Structures are given as C-alpha cells and as structure tokens.
C-alpha cells in the first residue's frame, strides 16, 4: 500500500533473525520458490516484521517480494471504514480478496516472472494496478491480518499480540484519527475473535515480547 509508513525497530529485527534461523535450512534444501505469511491483529507489527524478514534474507543473498494484504481489500481504507460503519457485519475476512491473493501466490510459486496486482493509494483512497517484477525473487512474504487463511503457502507465522497490547503501536502509526475512536475498538474486538482462532494454523509463533517459537500443532 502506497502511503503507509513502515518503521522497522530492534524488536522486529530480533524476531526476523530468529525466524530466519528456522527458515534458512529449509531454503537450503530446495530449489523451488517458497511462500510464507505473517499474520496478527491490527498494530501487531506485521508489516514491520515481514519487511525485516526480507531484509535478513537479503543478507544471505535470498531476494524476496512482499505482498501486502492491504492492497487486496475490496474497498480502499477510508471507503472500507465507511462500509464498516454502515454495517458492522462487514468486518471480517470477506473485506479482503483472499482468493485473488492466493492466485497471485500460486503464480509466484509456479514461476511467474511478473504479475499485475492491486495497489492501494492510501492518500487518494483509491485502488489502482501495478505490474511487479518477480523474476529474481525466491521467497514471497505475504503479510496481513487474515493471511493465515491463505492456502498457497509453505509456512505460516502468527504474531500473538492482542489489540490492547498493540494500542501503543497503533497510536504511533496513526494513519488516521478514526483508527483510535470507540467504533474502531468494536472492530478490533470482532477481529480479535476471528484472528485468534487462526493461530492454530501457524507453524511459527511470535510472542508478545517478540521471542519466537515453533508451534506445537
């Protein structure tokens, strides 16, 4: 999403390095492309952690491409907020074109050298298209609240922080004043119920203190 601020901090890098310790041996034993997701609640640090993973992989000469779920919403951010306020039942995975995201991840896995994908222009509240170069990328990193539901994936990562724990981060990010009003707390409560149930699908858990462990499932 163009217009979003991503600030990678020390704790994001710490988690990324721990994840790459698990990931690098898996990549060493395969020649095909690899897809991973980073999911969690709003403000949990998904974009930052996903970006940090890409940066650590680059240190090992493993190029990656970042797919952001924000680009795959049915409506752009401000329009989506209006849709939620008109009908709170709109909140959920149906807000996102996960089917399209999965198709694009499959195309990546199948060796696509480029693809045309949605691109959200946050300031303009519009969705356009962009054609991206995938030729050199070995790893696709898909980040977003509901990315644990994606199927064209080799490894799911889940950030185990709830919306109360992420409030400070959301205040720092503060894309818009509406993000922190009472209505958004209702949205985050609904999202929490949905997203927390998806934790069991993940193979790697990032805990509230940004330590990392493999899941027992």
β-partners of residue 106 are: none
Structural domain contains residue 186: yes
Please check whether residue 178 lies inside any domain of the structure: yes
The mean pLDDT value for 66-87 works out to 96
Distance CA 79, CA 109 (A): 32
> CB neighbours of 177 closer than 8 A, spacing ≥ 6?
none
Does 54 fall in a domain? yes
Q: Is 42 inside a domain boundary?
A: yes
Q: Is the pLDDT of residue 179 over 70?
A: no
Q: Is residue 2 part of a domain?
A: no
Beta bridge partners of 141: 36, 66
In a domain, 53, yes or no: yes
Give the domain range for residue 200: 10-214
Reply yes or no on whether the pLDDT at 69 is more than 60: yes
pTM tops 0.75: yes
* CATH number of domain containing 152: 3.40.50.300
Residue 3 in domain: no
Q: pLDDT per residue over 134-174, tens digit each? A: 999 999 999 999 999 999 999 999 999 877 766 665 565 55
pLDDT score of 119 more than 80: yes
Determine the pLDDT at residue 5.
72
**Percentage of residues in the chain with pLDDT exceeding 90?**
74
| Domain presence at residue 141 | yes
pLDDT at 118 over 90: yes
| b/e 139-153 (16+ beta carbons within 10 angstroms → b) | bbbbbbbbbbbbebb
Tokens of 9: 């901090």
Token representation of residue 137: 């990328």
* pLDDT of 115: 97
Q: Which residues pair with 155 in a beta bridge?
A: 36
Split into its structural domains, the chain has a count of: 1
| Mean pLDDT, the chain, integer | 91
The CA-atom distances, in angstroms, between 119 and each of 77, 109, 155 are: 12, 21, 24
What number is the average pLDDT over the span 211-215? 93
CA atoms within 13 A on the CB side of 5: 10
Confidence tier at 60 by pLDDT (50, 70, 90): very high
Structure tokens at 207: 């805990």
Q: Is the pLDDT reported for residue 217 higher than 80?
A: no
């Amino acid at each position: 999403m163009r217009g979003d601020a991503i600030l990678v901090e020390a704790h994001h890098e710490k988690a990324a390095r721990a994840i790459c310790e698990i990931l690098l041996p898996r990549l060493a034993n395969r020649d095909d492309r690899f897809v991973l997701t980073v999911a969690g609640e709003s403000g949990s640090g998904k974009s930052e952690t996903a970006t940090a993973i890409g940066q650590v992989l680059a240190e090992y000469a493993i190029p990656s491409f970042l797919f952001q779920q924000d680009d795959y919403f049915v409506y752009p951010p401000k329009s989506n907020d209006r849709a939620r306020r008109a009908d709170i039942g709109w909140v959920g995975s149906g807000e996102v074109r996960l089917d399209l995201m999965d198709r694009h991840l499959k195309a990546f896995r199948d060796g696509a050298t480029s693809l045309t994908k949605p691109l959200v222009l946050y300031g303009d509240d519009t969705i356009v298209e962009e054609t991206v170069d995938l030729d050199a990328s070995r790893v696709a990193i898909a980040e977003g609240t509901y990315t644990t539901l994606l199927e064209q994936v080799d490894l799911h990562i889940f950030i185990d922080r709830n919306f109360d724990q992420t409030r400070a981060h959301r205040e720092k990010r503060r894309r818009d004043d509406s993000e922190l009003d009472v209505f958004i707390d209702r949205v985050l409560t609904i999202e929490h119920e949905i997203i927390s149930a998806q934790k069991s699908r993940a193979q790697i858990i990032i805990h509230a203190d940004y330590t990392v462990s493999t899941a027992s499932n």
